[in-house]
Chain A
Amino acid sequence: MDGAHHNPTPDSPFDLVAFEADWNRRSRNSRLISLGWIALASFVLIMSMELSEAGQSTVDAGWTARIATFADRMVPDLQLQNLFGARRDAGSLASWFYDLPVWLVAMRETIAMAFVGTVVGGTLALYLSFLAASNLNQNWIGLQLVRRTFDLARTIPDAILALIFAAAFSLGPVAGVLTLIISTVGSLGKLFSECMENAEMRQVDSISALGGNWVMQMRFGIIPQLLPQILSYWLLRMEINLSSAAALGIVGAGGIGMELQRAISFTEFDTYLAILILIIGYIFVLDLLSETLRHRLIGKHALRNNRKPSAKAAAA
């Protein structure tokens, strides 16, 4: 066989030898690349095991057993005969959920935190996002300043912000509200400004042609066309905040999380389970409510045409 086979001409439309050589080369290359990725992944995994001491048998061989005993301690010893008895009866549901009124008040505090945080944070984000949209703000320095502020607010985790705020405002819901405001400004600001960059500018131009100033251009040119998107992102963030506010209390920022923390520090593990069930139920109801509300506000029509914004995008 000579080189003629390797140069397929229109006369020989399919050269099997060349094809097979090419195929072998490609599959060899792709196998090498996969092997490289696997090696890299294994290296990362082994390094992680090493760094986190998870692979070292000296640390503790018995943590699985400890989780099992712990899980056992979380389950309350309910007794069937006085399941629906009063609070002082041992083994009744009422004695398990012994502090229910306090927990419900804490739950209300969590909801209030999330509500105020989302409304205030979203409003701030809406105003700031006009400055972070490159088509609406020609001032490069101002644009970068607002955008980097959003980035900073998104990067610092909620719980760490809450710790710092709790140091300044003492333990309680105020620290939680401020934390939620900051993280909401970061995430919604980015999403809103991205919406605005995709907005139709002809409506803004027509208002400026009529002699409208910048505020009027924004109010009547940008807001009406983006309102459904903005509202749906806002609602999605409300949902995210309502569930993340429950956890913030663990680091001292008010609400039901503080009761969880209290139950753990008093080693009332069955109480922890009771509060956890309450939180799971709350988040479950929240899911259902937000689903129906979203459908009603945005409308079936809009849902069919534009897919709802992904939760991933809003959480980022």
Chain B
Amino acid sequence: MSDLALLQQAEALAPGAIFTPITNRVKFWLGLIAFAIVFTAAWIDLELTYSVLAGGFGKLGQILGTMVPPTSGGQLERLLWAIAQTLAIAVLGTVLAVVGALPLGLLAARNIVPNPMIHFIVRRIMDIFRGIPVLVWALILVAAVGLGPIPGILAIGFADIPRLAKLFGEALENADERQRDSLRATGSPDIGVLRFGTLPQALPVCLSQCLYYLEQNFRSAAIVGVVGAGGIGFELDERIRIFAFDEVAFIVLLYIVAVTVLDLGSQWLRTRLT
């Protein structure tokens, strides 16, 4: 039997195993061509021409050159204080988010609030606000409240309330129903079922998520500083504006060390929690 006949026999046994159907191949190539067209159009729209890129990378090289050696500019104490302030913004922002997210999370959980209308509405509202990036909140809050750490705290809190509320709601919904049932069987009121049936199951999950958000918010706190909300981002923005890139490099290195320390600490805590 020839090779082709063997292949055809195999194809008859398992259609599509050897020869890809022609329609699939056409679809694949059409998809690829569409993708290439969109990509090229986007590239042209962004004006990513050779001269722009070459000029920019040349300048970037100069900037990286001025970054060595990094120097604190004699302001190490001030920078360490700014890092601590950034951490403080992250902590308070996370606390604000947790305080705001807890009641919303309860409302969004199907097994806590039996009324489907309530959790549908709460969820849709959270869906709308979840998309707003923290920097957008920070920009508007700095304009409203003024420069300083307070708009940073508020921005992080507002941005994370809907995100944490969704996670809290899911953690509550994932709680095992049997423990709640056994409490109901003892005649416990609803609040007792929540406290001793649901909370012990959901709390470690929620706490671990809070710690994860704290890690993320240390990054956010550095970002909101750039638009004027205090901390290390503010110091960094000032130095980039005056092209003091040796100090910028120092701050970035300092920040990376701080992030690493915080992440390791938070990971250690999270493994202990769960």
Residues of A bordering B, CB below 8 Å: 44-45, 47-54, 59-60, 63, 66-67, 70-71, 74, 108-109, 111-113, 115-116, 119, 152, 155-160, 163-165, 167-170, 173-174, 177, 243-244, 246-248, 250-251, 254, 257, 260-261, 264, 267, 269, 272, 276, 279-280, 283-284, 286-287, 312, 315
Q: Does B109 contact A (CB under 8 A)?
A: no
Instruction: Tell me, in angstroms, the Cα distance from A15 to B189 when the chains sit together.
Output: 33
A-B contacts counted at CB < 8 A amount to: 180
Q: Could you say which of B39, B41, B144, B148 contacts A53, with CB atoms under 8 Å apart? A: B148
Chain B residue nearest to A244 (CB atoms) is B133
Chain B residue nearest to A248 (CB atoms) is B135
Chain B nearest CB from A296 CB (Å) reads 12
Q: Does B146 contact A (CB under 8 A)?
A: yes
B residues less than 8 Å from A60 (CB atoms): 145-146, 150
A residues less than 8 Å from B34 (CB atoms): none
Known contacts A63-B150, A269-B143: A165-B85 contact under CB 8 Å: no
For the complex, count residues of B whose C-beta is within 8 A of A: 68
**Could you say which of B21-29, B88-96, B110-118, B192-200 contacts chain A?**
B88-96
Do the beta carbons of B92 and A165 come within 8 Å of each other?
A: no
Given A59-B150, A160-B233; 19 other pairs, CB 8 A cutoff: A45-B91, A48-B88, A51-B84, A51-B85, A52-B230, A54-B149, A54-B153, A115-B38, A115-B39, A163-B226, A163-B236, A163-B237, A163-B240, A177-B46, A251-B227, A260-B136, A280-B129, A283-B132, A286-B131
Q: Does B120 contact A (CB under 8 A)?
A: no
Do the beta carbons of A59 and B88 come within 8 Å of each other?
A: no
Instruction: List 10 A-B pairs, minimum CB-CB distance, nearest first.
Output: A283-B131, A70-B144, A247-B133, A48-B88, A112-B42, A169-B56, A51-B88, A52-B149, A168-B60, A247-B135
**Could you say which of B70-78, B179-187, B252-260 contacts chain A?**
B252-260
Q: Does B4 contact A (CB under 8 A)?
A: no
Q: Does B13 contact A (CB under 8 A)?
A: no
Bitwise interface map of B from 126 to 162 toward A, beta carbon under 8 Å scored 1, else 0: 0111011111100111011110111011100000000
B residues less than 8 Å from A261 (CB atoms): 139
Do the beta carbons of A160 and B131 come within 8 Å of each other?
A: no
Chain A nearest CB from B17 CB (Å) reads 14
Known contacts A164-B240, A250-B139, A260-B136: A284-B127 contact under CB 8 Å: yes
B residues less than 8 Å from A109 (CB atoms): 45-46
Do the beta carbons of A44 and B91 come within 8 Å of each other?
A: yes
Do the beta carbons of B233 and A67 come within 8 Å of each other?
A: no
Instruction: Tell me, in angstroms, the Cα distance from A164 to B153 when the chains sit together.
Output: 25
Q: What are some 29 contacts across the A-B interface (CB < 8 A)?
A: A48-B89, A49-B92, A52-B88, A52-B149, A52-B152, A54-B92, A60-B150, A66-B146, A67-B144, A71-B144, A112-B42, A112-B46, A115-B39, A116-B46, A155-B256, A155-B259, A159-B135, A160-B233, A163-B226, A163-B237, A167-B59, A167-B63, A168-B63, A169-B56, A177-B46, A177-B48, A264-B143, A280-B131, A284-B127
B residues less than 8 Å from A54 (CB atoms): 92, 149-150, 153
Interface of B is mostly: helix
Instruction: Tell me, in angstroms, the Cα distance from A56 to B15 when the chains sit together.
Output: 74
Do the beta carbons of A173 and B59 come within 8 Å of each other?
A: no
B residues less than 8 Å from A53 (CB atoms): 148-150
Do the beta carbons of B252 and A47 come within 8 Å of each other?
A: no
A residues less than 8 Å from B237 (CB atoms): 163
Instruction: Tell me, in angstroms, the Cα distance from A243 to B45 when the chains sit together.
Output: 19
Chain B nearest CB from A231 CB (Å) reads 12
Q: Could you say which of B42, B63, B136, B145 contacts A115, with CB atoms under 8 Å apart? A: B42
Chain A residue nearest to B41 (CB atoms) is A112
Known contacts A52-B230, A157-B219, A159-B135: A168-B146 contact under CB 8 Å: no
Instruction: Tell me, in angstroms, the Cα distance from A243 to B136 when the chains sit together.
Output: 11
Q: Could you say which of B52, B153, B230 contacts A174, with CB atoms under 8 Å apart? A: B52
Instruction: Tell me, in angstroms, the Cα distance from A143 to B60 when the chains sit together.
Output: 27
Instruction: Tell me, in angstroms, the Cα distance from A251 to B138 when the chains sit together.
Output: 12
Chain A nearest CB from B131 CB (Å) reads 3
Chain A nearest CB from B102 CB (Å) reads 16
Q: Could you say which of B39, B92, B135 contacts A250, with CB atoms under 8 Å apart? A: B135
Chain A residue nearest to B136 (CB atoms) is A247
Do the beta carbons of A152 and B256 come within 8 Å of each other?
A: yes
Do the beta carbons of A116 and B39 come within 8 Å of each other?
A: yes
Q: Could you say which of A113, A168, A287 contacts B127, with CB atoms under 8 Å apart? A: A287
Residue among A164, A260, A272 having the largest count of chain B Cβ atoms under 10 Å? A164
